[in-house]
Chain A
Amino acid sequence: MSRLIRRQGWVAGLLVLFVVLLVITKLIQPGYGSGDFGSLVRAVLPYAFAVAAQTIVVIAGGIDLSVGAMMALTSVTAASMMDGASEEYALFVVPFVLAMGLVLGAVNGMLIVVTRVPDIVVTLATLFVLQGAALLVLGAPGGAVAEWLRATIVGTFPIPGLPGISAWIPKALVLLVVCLCIIWIPLKRSKLGLSIYAIGSSELAAFRSGVPVARTKIIAYALSGLFGAMGGLALTMSTGIGAPIPGPYLLASVAAVVLGGVALGGGKGGLLGPIVAVFVLRLVRTDLTLLAIDPNVTAIIEGAIMVAVVMFGAFITMRGRQ
């Protein structure tokens, strides 16, 4: 029970931190309005999917170093398939790319189960493989994206009768929430979700209580690949092109997962914490930019915040244990 309170307390604390940061942003830049919030959400979108991909694997007791490369590969695949194709063709591209992410993620999981090599090494190897494949698909940034796909993340979500509130609900946020909930909520309530937490908490205990460890692990990685593919699509949707060299998504995803209260050993935490954490991290970056701080100093501050928060979290856990 006390653990539950502590975990929810962590998420609540993050939410408070986010609101405080929003207030600070408003103080720094009195003109900060719904439009700026919309662009924040659009910037967060690929990061949020990367974080979701990492979260599910970390809960299952693993780690996925190939998140960034997976996003790069799915992004270039989508962009090069849609290049010069008709608008309707994109209706086929989106499911294809999502299926590709699912399959590649499952391959990751199968390799881990079959070879018995540690997760970190297997995903390190697949990082190289996926990155190489991305370079083969598209040697340089390029490609195109269907207009209607771009339109799904630009603008706000209209709620009839409430124009004031609807201005603050960007379409990108709706897309993010829908995509995450559609997978996460049924998962969390199902036996499969419980199994994922079980193998993360103790593989041996889970095996002895009859949880199909290998199958659960493969599914966890497959879902991670699916989230990665969503991230790749989001990347293509927001930039309009595909880029074969992955961005800083790996580091950002691990940082947000830890900041969001998911233990790296596995078995603890949820999806909400990391998602709020990634919003906090991006908003800090926005604030630092608004304060006209040198972007290089921003990187230092971000790293310092990450390290300090993680140290603080570890310290709290230590005190709680004593």
Chain B
Amino acid sequence: MSISAIQPVPFGRRIKRFMADRPLIPLIILLVILVVILQILRPGIVNERWLANTIKFAIPLAILAGCQTMTMLTGGIDLSVGTVATMSAFIMATQVVNHDPAAAILIALVPAVLIGLVNGIGVGVFRVHPLIMTLGTSLIGTGCLQVYQRTVIASGAKIPPFLAWLGTGLTYGVPNALLLFVPIAVLIVFTLRRTGFGRLLYAVGDNEGAARLSGVRYWQVITALYVISSVLAGITGLLYIGLIKAPSLSLAEPLVLPSVAAAVIGGTSIFGGRGGYTGTIIGALILTVLTTLLTILQMPEGARRILFGLIVLFVTAAYLRIIEDR
């Protein structure tokens, strides 16, 4: 980097500076490149239906990645989101058989709040490493879900029509899931940028000691954060089951690691204090397009995973290079 500073290449350097100042631009360029590659490989695939489908599948990933973004801003991580989403989806689908859908949804969100509370207390009060804490609670959650499954195995499950409408439906070619996602996204971006709570998250992640000395009640911030993260994950579960329409005990589990990847690709530092949600949304879109791309290449599952891992690594490394230049 220092070499490029000495060399007199003003134009290239200006572009680099420009990209470093607006970290979203290289991400959007990458997204466009991926879409163009897709269009070249399979001409005509990029149409309205494809767009709607991509958005539909990117939304659950983007919300879960939002949980990761917020927890990562404080230097944490929330690996229990997959279990929480699966739990709320499964419990809702089985409770709706005997209850009103609204009541079922409320019941389904109870474990989400509980897990969030335990995570928050463990991380905030007892100072357990977030990785361990959330892995532990997700293990407990999965166990509870399996025990619960035994009790409802006879009653069966169904998906309320309005969740299916929300998950898969289109209005004038626009996915209905955006009705849920846009408010959530606006709320997260607004919270992070404009509210005191958002500033506290950045402060805690940037320098915990300084935040504490300036009067931040660390455990309260962290507990609130993990509860919010869990509730968001629970809502994602409800949306995701409307999309997938088949309740299972590992419904949202495959989304966990990609959600971390989406937040990292979007430029959120895993050590805290830096990042934002808009980048994460584009990160989720990039991963979704990438998955489609790898699927239409008709590679064996193994090769697809290899490419996925390599690309995630490459994108993150390249992106870090660009913003570190600041």
By a CB distance below 8 angstroms, the chain B residues around A303 are: 136-137, 139-140, 143
A117 and B128 within 8 A (CB): no
Q: Are B305 and A115 neighbours in the complex by a CB distance under 8 Å?
A: no
With both chains docked as a complex, state the minimum distance between the C-beta of B84 and any C-beta of chain A, in angstroms.
14
A317 to B, closest residue via Cβ: B127
Pair B128/A314 contact, Cβ less than 8 Å = yes
Complex interface: chain B residues within 8 A of A306 (CB): 132, 136, 139
Surface stretch bound by B, among A84-92, A122-130, A156-164, A229-237: A122-130
Give the most central of A127, A132, A304, A318: most B CB within 10 Å. A132
Contacts of B46 in A (CB 8 A): none
**Which of A22-30, A199-207, A291-299 lies on the face that meets chain B?**
A291-299
* A17 on the B face (CB < 8 A): no
Q: Is the beta-carbon distance between A264 and B139 smaller than 8 angstroms?
A: no
Residues in B298-326 with C-beta less than 8 Å from chain A: 300-310, 312-313, 316-317, 320, 324
Chain B contact surface mostly: helix
Q: Taking the complex as formed, is B147 at the interface, i.e. its CB lies under 8 A from any CB of chain A? A: yes
B77, B122, B144, B316: most-surrounded residue (chain A CB, <10 A): B316
For A301, the closest partner residue in chain B by CB is B143
Inter-chain contact A125/B310, CB cutoff 8 Å = yes
Are B140 and A310 within 8 A (Cβ)? no
A255 surroundings in chain B (CB, below 8 A): 132, 135-136
User: Which of B17-25, B50-58, B257-265 binds A?
Assistant: B257-265
A315's partner among B126, B308, B313, B324 (CB-CB below 8 A) is: B126
Answer yes or no: A251 CB below 8 A from chain B CBs.
yes
Task: Decide: B320 and A133 in contact? CB cutoff 8 A.
Answer: no
The complex places the Cα of A133 from the Cα of B136 at a distance, in Å, of: 29
**B window 147-188: CB within 8 A of A:** 147, 150
Within 8 A of A (CB), among B109-143: 118, 122, 126-129, 131-133, 135-137, 139-140, 142-143
Interface of A is mostly: helix
For chain B, residues 16 to 68, give those with C-beta under 8 angstroms from any C-beta of chain A.
Answer: none
Provide the residues of chain A in CB contact with B222, threshold 8 Å. none
Asked whether any CB of chain B lies closer than 8 Å to the CB of A307, the reply is yes
Whether B309 contacts A299 by the Cβ 8 Å rule is no
A136 at the interface (CB under 8 A from B): yes
Other than the given A132-B306, A297-B143, 7 more pairs (CB < 8 A) read A111-B313, A128-B257, A129-B310, A132-B308, A134-B302, A136-B303, A254-B132
Give 5 nearest A-B pairs by CB, closest first.
Answer: A132-B305, A128-B309, A135-B302, A299-B143, A303-B139
Q: What are 16 A-B interface contacts by the 8 Å CB criterion?
A: A115-B320, A124-B260, A124-B312, A125-B261, A126-B309, A129-B305, A131-B305, A132-B307, A251-B135, A255-B132, A296-B146, A299-B142, A300-B143, A306-B139, A307-B122, A315-B126
